[in-house]
Structure 1
Amino acid sequence: MVNYIKESYNELRNHVTWTPWPEAQRLTVIVAAFSVILALAVWGVDSVFSKIISYYFELIK
C-alpha cells in the first residue's frame, strides 16, 4: 500500500501535465454557465410538458 501511494505521488508530481490556473478558471466559468443554461432549458421543457399534460387531463375529465 505504501509503495502504491509513493508511485501515485511520483506519477502526479512528475508525469502529469496540469492545466494552468487562469485556463482552469476560464473553463470552470464556461462549464458553470453551460450547466445553468442546460438546467434552465430542461426546466422550461419540463414546465411546458407539465402544462400540456395538465391541460390534457382537464379535457378528459
Structure 2
Amino acid sequence: MAKLQSYIKDSINELRHKVTWPSYNELQNSSILVLVASLIFALVIGLIDVGFEKIMTFIYNAS
C-alpha cells in the first residue's frame, strides 16, 4: 500500500512541476491543425474511393 501512495504522490508532483502544459492559444492552434488535416485526409480518401468506384463500374460494364 505504501508503494501505491508513493506512486500517486510522485505522479501528482510530476504533473504539477515537471510537465509543460500548452497555453490555450497553442492548444487552439493544434486543434485547428488537426481538424484541417483530418478534413484533407477525408477528402483524399473520398476522392480515391470515387475513382475506384468509377474504374470498377467501367470494368464491369465492359465485359
TM-score higher than 0.5? yes
- State the partner residue of 1:17: 20
**How far is the alpha carbon of 1:18 from its aligned partner?**
0.9
CA root-mean-square deviation? 1.1
- State the partner residue of 2:54: 51
Q: Which runs of 4+ in 1 moved over 6 A?
A: none
Which one is further off, 2-11 or 12-21?
Answer: 2-11
Q: TM-score, normalised by structure 1?
A: 0.85
CA offset digits 1:1-53 (Å, max 9, x no partner): 23222211111111001111111101111110111111111111111111101
Q: TM-score, normalised by structure 2?
A: 0.82
Structure 2 unaligned spans of 5+: none
**How far is the alpha carbon of 1:58 from its aligned partner?**
1.4
- Amino acid across the alignment from 1:40: L
Provide the identity percentage: 37
